[in-house]
């Protein structure tokens, strides 16, 4: 019989009944033996802790510290948690522990499963659409800038061309105005310069606009290699009078004619 209380009751009944033997020895006293058995039992230490508040607090602190260490070491470790689930037995519905946790598949949600729904796919594709839209806007802006630069360059070319055309028109009009007052001087010595021609027409110095009105033409006599000079006078009358002059430069007699007369 392992129950201490039942053992104590049977011992009391044995002492009350008359027996030939007597228990005079203190070492063989059943009560003392029962006390020793209860003291040596596994639950006696727990009873002492529960009866002593200081020991109880120390035990609680020890359990809390051990639980903190366990939580910090294994609760956040998924591999350790999975291993414990596999190693721990799983009781069946009829109370038998024949089924283990190895038969249970632990599914951890991953990113692929988490984004498999249409809403999540739409959300995940939204940044890509934004990036594509931003790239399209950048390319469209670059194309628009390039087109704007091309249009600006074309407009500038058109403006320059228009200005040149206007300038050419003004020059043609000026040429038409100066043509009646223009002299063509030929047989000018090859070594003659601008000052030599102006000195020859010094009597008509007030009728010559400026030195830029005197121009050496590129045409030369093919045999004598003499030069030709174009001179614009201030008025038609001055040009007609100057065309009647006779003289020479460097020994070569000049031939002076009106430009309109040479064109005819």
> Could you read off the pLDDT of 48-67 as tens digits, one per residue?
555 666 676 677 777 766 65
130: number of Cβ within 10 Å: 10
The pLDDT of residue 160: 94
3-state secondary structure of 187: strand
Work out the pLDDT band at 157, boundaries 50, 70, 90: very high
pLDDT digits (tens, 9 = 90+) for 224-251: 889 999 988 888 888 888 888 888 888 8
3-state secondary structure of 208: strand
Work out the pLDDT band at 161, boundaries 50, 70, 90: very high
CATH superfamily of 180-263: RRM (RNA recognition motif) domain (3.30.70.330)
pLDDT digits (tens, 9 = 90+) for 63-87: 766 655 555 554 455 556 556 656 6
10 Å CB burial of residue 147 (0-12, 13-18, 19+) is exposed
Work out the pLDDT band at 262, boundaries 50, 70, 90: low
pTM flag (> 0.85)? no
3-state secondary structure of 41: coil
The pLDDT of residue 148: 85
Alpha-carbon distance of 173 to 135, in angstroms, equals 56
127 or 98: whose pLDDT is higher? 127
Alpha-carbon distance of 243 to 263, in angstroms, equals 15
Backbone angles phi, psi at 255, to 5 degrees: -115, 110
The pLDDT of residue 100: 45
Apex 108 CA angle, 104 and 113, nearest 5: 120
10 Å CB burial of residue 230 (0-12, 13-18, 19+) is middle
Structure tokens at 189: 């010595």
Alpha-carbon distance of 40 to 253, in angstroms, equals 159
Of 132-146, 180-194, 215-229, 246-260, which range is least confident?
A: 132-146
Sign of CA dihedral 234, 235, 236, 241: negative
- With contact defined as beta carbons under 8 Å apart, do 213 and 198 qualify? no
The pLDDT of residue 166: 93
21-43 average pLDDT score: 59
Backbone angles phi, psi at 218, to 5 degrees: -80, -15
42 or 142: whose pLDDT is higher? 142
What Rg, from alpha-carbon coordinates, does the chain have? 65
Chain-centroid distance of CA 76 in Å reads 38
pLDDT digits (tens, 9 = 90+) for 204-217: 878 776 667 788 88
């Amino acid at each position: 019989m392992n129950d201490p209380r039942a053992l104590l009751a049977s011992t009391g009944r044995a002492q009350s009944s008359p027996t030939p033997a007597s228990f005079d020895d203190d070492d063989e006293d059943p009560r003392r033996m029962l006390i020793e058995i209860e003291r040596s039992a596994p639950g006696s230490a727990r009873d002492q802790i529960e009866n002593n508040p200081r020991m109880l607090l120390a035990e609680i602190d020890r359990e809390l510290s051990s639980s903190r260490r366990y939580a910090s070491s294994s609760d956040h470790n998924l591999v350790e948690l999975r291993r414990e689930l596999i190693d721990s037995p799983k009781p069946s519905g009829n109370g038998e522990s024949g089924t283990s946790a190895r038969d249970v598949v632990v599914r951890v949600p991953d990113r692929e499963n988490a984004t498999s729904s249409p809403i999540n796919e739409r959300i995940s594709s939204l940044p890509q659409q934004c990036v594509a839209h931003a790239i399209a806007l950048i390319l469209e802006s670059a194309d628009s800038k390039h087109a704007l630069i091309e249009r600006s360059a074309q407009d500038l070319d058109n403006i320059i061309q228009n200005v040149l055309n206007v300038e050419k028109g003004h020059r043609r009009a000026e040429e038409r105005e100066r043509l009646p007052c223009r002299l063509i001087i030929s047989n000018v010595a090859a070594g003659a310069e601008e000052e030599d021609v102006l000195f020859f027409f010094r009597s008509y110095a007030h009728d010559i606009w400026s030195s830029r009105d005197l121009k050496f033409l590129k045409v030369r006599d093919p045999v004598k290699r003499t030069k030709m000079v174009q001179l614009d006078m201030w008025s038609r009358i001055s040009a007609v009078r100057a065309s009647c002059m006779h003289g020479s430069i460097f020994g070569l007699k000049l031939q002076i004619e009106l430009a309109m007369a040479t064109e005819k």
